[in-house]
């Protein structure tokens, strides 16, 4: 291990760019911590030349990491790897960095689904992985430019196993001004987020609508409740102990979203891009099949997604 603690942020998009940017700003001149951005080639060039621009309602700032690259030889051995790529890129991205990961490297996925651990283990069976999720309204408007909405930007993480490094890492995040929450029941925390994002992403993409019009329509709202009921049943079959009011709680979160809010998966469908439907929709169906839990509404939505590349 190096003298400095090396923290690499994989994926400098809406999530990695925001949280990685705060880390980079705080620790640029640190003697103890080094922040590395692992990015795509077009982003590398822009960030090297102009920095990463983060625009919030309060301010606009430009930050530079200690290093931005996609070259494992430049990166070297790392102590922490924060993963914020899309689920369909995760395995390939992890494999590309395998020479940087050693037995004590902690990998923290901040993805929308709950299958990130399985994906990482398929590439690195002996990896040390924590669990995490974020609540944030942010978007990558162009390479090297992040817009953040300012209302919520929380990062939850934890581990089912006792790890003395959890509190140390939490302090690193807090010292960078990140709204970090060390969860005592991270499995529940991640599943609560997954229930919310799976239903919102599946609904907005399937109906090709933002959340406001969906909840206003009686039939669409009933579909939302059916999806919440199905995913709740799948979670409970997986022995996830959920709050008794999880459906009402999740609906309440949806109602508090701005009227025109949609999901990144819906946006990707509209652009004809790759989407995360396998992690956000198909995963629920496959778990249901494995656990003998019926998911007819999810299956109907999945069938459409399998034949859909973009909206007309």
pLDDT per residue over 58-92, tens digit each? 999 999 999 999 999 999 999 999 999 999 999 99
Contacts 24+ apart (CB under 8 A), 252-261: 253/196, 254/196, 254/199, 254/200, 254/211, 254/215, 254/224, 255/215, 257/200, 257/211, 257/212, 258/212, 259/210, 259/211, 259/212, 259/213, 260/210, 260/212, 261/137, 261/210, 261/211, 261/212
Number of compact structural domains in the chain: 2
Spatial separation of the C-alpha atoms in residues 131 and 109, rounded to whole Å:
6
Q: Does residue 72 form part of some domain?
A: yes
Q: Which of 116, 150, 184 is the last residue of a domain?
A: 184
Residues 87 and 209 in one domain: no
The answer to whether the beta carbons of residues 1 and 100 sit under 8 Å apart is no
Residues 52 and 9 in one domain: yes
Spatial separation of the C-alpha atoms in residues 265 and 296, rounded to whole Å:
21
Residues 236 and 178 in one domain: no
The answer to whether the beta carbons of residues 111 and 90 sit under 8 Å apart is yes
Q: What is the domain extent for residue 218? A: 188-306
Q: What is the pTM of this model?
A: 0.94
Q: Does residue 229 form part of some domain?
A: yes
Q: Which of 168, 184, 200 is the last residue of a domain?
A: 184
Spatial separation of the C-alpha atoms in residues 27 and 62, rounded to whole Å:
14
Residues 212 and 149 in one domain: no
DSSP code, position 98: G
- The per-residue pLDDT string of the chain (312 residues; one tens digit each, 9 = 90 and over) reads 448 999 999 999 999 999 999 999 999 999 999 999 999 999 999 999 999 999 999 999 999 999 999 999 999 999 999 999 999 999 999 999 999 999 999 999 999 999 999 999 999 999 999 999 999 989 899 999 999 987 789 999 999 888 899 999 999 999 999 999 999 999 999 999 999 999 999 999 999 999 999 999 999 999 999 999 999 999 999 999 999 999 999 999 999 988 999 999 999 999 999 999 999 999 999 999 999 999 999 999 999 999 875 554
Q: Does residue 239 form part of some domain?
A: yes
pLDDT of residue 161: 87
pLDDT of residue 151: 79
Q: Does residue 177 form part of some domain?
A: yes
Question: How confident is the model over 222-258, as pLDDT tens digits?
Answer: 999 999 999 999 999 999 999 999 999 999 999 998 8
Residues 179 and 265 in one domain: no
Using the structure block, give the residue that is written with the tokens 């922490």. Answer: 80
Residues 173 and 233 in one domain: no
Domain CATH for 244: 1.10.1040.10
Count of alpha carbons within 13 Å of 282, Cβ hemisphere only?
A: 12
Residues 138 and 172 in one domain: yes
pLDDT of residue 312: 45
Q: Does residue 293 form part of some domain?
A: yes
Label the pairing between strands 145-158 and 179-182. Answer: parallel
pLDDT of residue 235: 98
Query: How many beta carbons lie within 10 A of that of residue 99, not counting itself?
Result: 12
SS3 6: strand
Q: Does residue 311 form part of some domain?
A: no
Q: Determine the length of the chain.
A: 312
Domain CATH for 94: 3.40.50.720
Q: Does residue 312 form part of some domain?
A: no
150: left (phi over 0), alpha (psi -120 to 50) or beta: left
Residues 33 and 176 in one domain: yes
Residues 140 and 277 in one domain: no
Q: Which of 117, 151, 184 is the last residue of a domain?
A: 184
Residues 147 and 194 in one domain: no
Residues 179 and 227 in one domain: no
Residues 109 and 160 in one domain: yes
Spatial separation of the C-alpha atoms in residues 41 and 53, rounded to whole Å:
17
């Amino acid at each position: 291990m190096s003298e400095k603690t090396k923290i690499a942020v994989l994926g400098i998009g809406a999530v990695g760019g925001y949280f990685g940017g705060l880390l980079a700003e705080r620790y640029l001149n640190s003697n103890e911590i080094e922040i590395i951005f692992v990015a795509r080639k077009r982003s590398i060039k822009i960030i090297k030349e102009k920095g990463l621009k983060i625009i919030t309602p309060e301010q606009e700032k430009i930050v530079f990491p200690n290093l931005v690259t996609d070259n494992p030889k430049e990166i070297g051995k790392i102590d922490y790897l924060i993963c914020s790529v899309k689920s369909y890129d995760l395995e390939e991205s992890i494999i590309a960095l395998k020479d940087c990961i050693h037995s004590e490297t902690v990998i923290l996925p901040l993805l929308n689904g709950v299958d990130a651990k399985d994906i990482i283990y398929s590439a690195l069976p002996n990896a040390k992985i924590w669990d995490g999720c974020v609540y944030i309204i942010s978007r990558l408007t162009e390479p090297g430019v992040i817009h953040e909405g300012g209302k919520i930007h929380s990062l939850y993480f934890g581990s089912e196993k006792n790890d003395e490094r959890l509190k140390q890492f939490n302090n690193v995040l807090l010292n960078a001004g990140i709204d970090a929450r060390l969860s005592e029941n991270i499995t529940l925390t991640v599943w609560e987020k997954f229930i919310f994002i799976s239903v919102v992403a599946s609904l907005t993409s399937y109906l090709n609508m933002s959340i406001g019009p969906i909840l206003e329509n009686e039939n669409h709202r009933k579909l939302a409740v059916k999806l919440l009921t199905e995913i709740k049943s799948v979670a409970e079959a997986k022995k996830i102990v959920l709050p008794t009011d999880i459906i009402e709680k999740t609906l309440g979160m949806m109602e508090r979203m701005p009227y025109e809010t949609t999901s990144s998966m819906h946006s990707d469908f509209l652009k004809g891009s790759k989407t995360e439907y396998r992690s956000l929709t198909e995963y629920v169906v496959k778990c249901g099949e494995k656990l003998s839990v019926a998911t007819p509404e999810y299956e109907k939505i999945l069938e459409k997604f399998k034949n859909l590349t973009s909206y007309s």
